[in-house]
């Protein structure tokens, strides 16, 4: 089946199903290319700015405050 034959069927899908299809395709392409080794049902850690150490946040706040004073002059 070609992409041209699939497109009308995909367009008719509800958004949630389109999203699931997109997830499936990305995982399949990644696995075939050797980029992804994600397994369904497994939880993987994701970096978030909320996990930044407090001293890093304090340093960034200080740098931003100093930068602000330079531009206000």
Report residue 3: phi and psi, to 5°: -65, -35
Is the predicted pLDDT of residue 10 greater than 80, yes or no? yes
Domain holding 15, by residue range, is: 3-72
Share above pLDDT 90 across residues of the chain, in percent, rounded to a whole number: 29
Does the pTM surpass 0.85? The reply is no
How many structural domains is the chain composed of? 1
DSSP H helical ranges for 1-73: 3-12, 15-33, 54-72
* Distance set, CA 28 to CA 5, 6, 39, 40, 73 (Å): 20, 17, 11, 12, 54
Average pLDDT, whole number, for the chain?
84
pLDDT tens figures, 29-60 = 888 887 766 677 888 777 777 777 788 888 98
């Amino acid at each position: 089946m070609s992409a041209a034959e699939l497109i009308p069927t995909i367009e008719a899908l509800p958004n949630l199903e389109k999203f699931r299809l997109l997830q499936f395709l990305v995982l399949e392409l990644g696995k075939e290319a050797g980029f992804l080794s994600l397994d369904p049902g497994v939880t993987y850690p994701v970096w978030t700015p909320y996990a930044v150490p407090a001293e890093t946040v304090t340093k960034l706040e200080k740098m931003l405050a100093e930068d602000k004073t330079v531009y206000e002059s």
